[in-house]
Amino acid sequence: MAKLNRPPVIYSPTTIQDLLKIYHLNPDALIYAGGTGLLSGAEGDILHIRGSVINIAGVEELKKINRTDRYLELGASVPVSKVIDLGKSIVPEALYIALKQMGPPQIRNMATIGGNICRQANTMDIFPILHLHDCQVELRRFREYRSPRRFLKGSGSKWIPVSRLIDNDGKIIMESGEILTRIRIPNENWTFESYRKIDGPGSPLIFTALARLDKHILTDIRLSYSTVREKLIRNRDLEAEMIGRRVPFSGRDLTLLEGKLEAYFKGTGESSFTTARASALTIQFLEKISEPVDEGRV
């Protein structure tokens, strides 16, 4: 039987300033955006939220989408479905595919981009894509500046690479009272992007890959793998070894790369089953980038 507790106190700020101040005063409050994270396992009709909740759905600034020549900027509480609606030509292909796979339509309408990043359990979903794309996130917190004349109040803001958002154990590192407000995705032309999430029966695995070709020369490649044990596995040495090579890869090269990848994977303690899956996905990607490029494609 669920234990009853007092109803939570709900704060509904409409500006970022108010949000930061409320969060500063209630650092243990639950941030409510789309709600998909609140409820897993809530039995019965009451959600039994303890303490206080800050409902950020009314903060318009957090729902903005901004496009420039250099980047696509998403407010943290932009719903996943809104990002999908932007279309493949605006959203990086891997991200687009990942978001489309994020549950049925009703979940995508509720889940937010920021929520997905901040929820540790879900970081496997889009985190590797943002990481490979060198995305930046904006973190903000309430700050009081002391000046000789008067108190100046304002918010402290910083932009950090998304990779700095998680520690070695895959846990989100944010300071007390700090809120993720925006995500900036650089506009970079990748010739190939791939995202595969295998989450059927068996151990789940996410494979993300980006590759850039210039006149059959592989000028850049980034590969990441997420498993249950490791949120992000990336071998930059292997990537460096491939950069500068001519495609198509020869059969011998592919076999060599496969061997190296398997050896590396085994070193991380992954099972031979996961290793085999990761290796098969990688080889498939490398074979795909070896095929003639469709000229209309960027």
Partner 1 sequence: MIETKRLKEKLAGKIRFPEDISTKRTLIGAVVRSPIDHGEIRNIKIPEIPEDICLITASDIPGANKISVPGGSMPLLARKEVTYRGEAVLLAAGPDRETLDLFLEKIEIDYDPLPEWKYSEEKEETAGPARRIIKGDPVEALEQSAFKVESAFSTPLQRHLATPLLSVHVKTEGQKFTISSSTQWPTNVIQNCSAVTGVSRANFSIKLNPLGTPLDSKIWMPSLVAAQAALLAQKSRKPVSLSYSAEETLLCSPMRIPVRFHCEAGLDESGKLQALLMDFQIDTGSHAMLTSEILDRICIGTAGVYQCRNIKVTGLAYRSNKPPLGAFSGMGLSQAFFAVESLTDMLIARFIEQQKKDIERLIAEAVAAGDDNKLKSARTRTTTDPAIWRSRNFLIKGNTYLSGGKLMKSPPLDTVLEKLVSSSDFTRKHAAFSNALSKREKNGGSSFARKGIGLATAYMGSNFLRRERGLFSATVIGRLDKEGRLNLTTSSVPDNYALLKLWRQSAADILGIEESMVDISSDEENQIPLAGPATLSRNITVTTRLVSQACEQIKKRRFRDPLPLVVKKTYQNSSSRKWDTEKFAGHPFQELSWGGCVVEIEIDEMTFSPVVRKVWYSIDCGIILNRDSALAEVESETMQALGWCFNEDPERIRYWKLPGIDSLPEIHIDFTESSSRTANALGGIVLNTFPAAFRNALSQAAQSQFTSLPVRPEDIFTALEDR
Partner 2 sequence: MNIICNVNGKEVAVETRPDKKLSAVLRDDLNLKGIRKGCGTGRCGSCLILLDDQLVASCLVPAFAARHKSIVTIEGFSQTKEFSDIVTGFKEAGVHLCSYCAPARVLSTAYMLRKHIMPTEEQINDIISSVQCRCSSFSHLKKGIIQASIHFSRRKDNG
- Looking only at residues 18 through 47 of this chain, which bind partner 1 when binding is defined by CB under 8 A? 43-45
Q: CB under 5 to 8 A by kind: which of partner 2, partner 1, none does 51 bind?
A: none
For residue 12, what are the CA distances in angstroms to 26, 30, 31, 154, 199?
Answer: 13, 12, 10, 19, 36
Task: Report how many residues bind partner 1 under the rule CB under 8 A.
Answer: 20
Q: How far apart (Å, rounded) are the C-alpha atoms in residues 12 and 106?
A: 23
280 binds partner 2 (CB under 8 A): no
Angle at 192 between CA 212 and CA 79, to 5 degrees: 120
Q: CB under 5 to 8 A by kind: which of partner 1, partner 2, none does 202 bind?
A: partner 1
198 binds partner 1 (CB under 8 A): yes
Question: Minimum CB separation from partner 1 for residue 163, in Å?
Answer: 27
Site string for partner 2, 53-82 (x = CB under 8 A): x-x-x---------------------x-x-
- Looking only at residues 78 through 137 of this chain, which bind partner 1 when binding is defined by CB under 8 A? none
104 binds partner 2 (CB under 8 A): yes
151-160: burial string, b at 16+ Cβ within 10 Å, e else: eeeebeeeee
277 binds partner 1 (CB under 8 A): yes
Question: Minimum CB separation from partner 2 for residue 40, in Å?
Answer: 6
In the complex with partner 2, the residue whose CB is nearer, 104 or 292, is 104
Nearest in space to 34 (alpha carbons), one of 95, 117, 83, 107: 107
Say how many C-beta atoms besides its own lie within 10 A of residue 13's C-beta: 18
Nearest in space to 291 (alpha carbons), one of 226, 225, 194, 208: 194
Q: How far apart (Å, rounded) are the C-alpha atoms in residues 51 and 23?
A: 13
Q: How far apart (Å, rounded) are the C-alpha atoms in residues 21 and 154?
A: 9
For residue 13, what are the CA distances in angstroms to 26, 28, 84, 204?
Answer: 13, 16, 27, 38
Question: Minimum CB separation from partner 1 for residue 3, in Å?
Answer: 6
Q: CB under 5 to 8 A by kind: which of partner 2, partner 1, none does 3 bind?
A: partner 1
Among 6, 167, 169, 201, binds partner 1 (CB under 8 A): 201
At residue 65, φ and ψ (nearest 5 deg) are -120, 130
228 binds partner 1 (CB under 8 A): no
- The DSSP code sequence of 172-213 is B---TT-EEEEEEEE----SEEEEEEE-SSSS-EEEEEEEEE
In the complex with partner 1, the residue whose CB is nearer, 4 or 298, is 4
161 binds partner 2 (CB under 8 A): no
Q: Cβ-count burial of 43 within 10 angstroms (0-12 exposed, 13-18 middle, 19+ buried)?
A: exposed
Among 18, 24, 26, 38, binds partner 2 (CB under 8 A): 38
Q: Provide the binding-site residues for partner 1, judged by CB under 8 A.
A: 1-4, 43-45, 196, 198, 200-203, 272-273, 276-277, 280-281, 284
Q: Provide the binding-site residues for partner 2, judged by CB under 8 A.
A: 7-8, 10, 12, 32, 35-36, 38-40, 42-43, 45-49, 53, 55, 57, 79, 81, 100, 103-107, 109-110
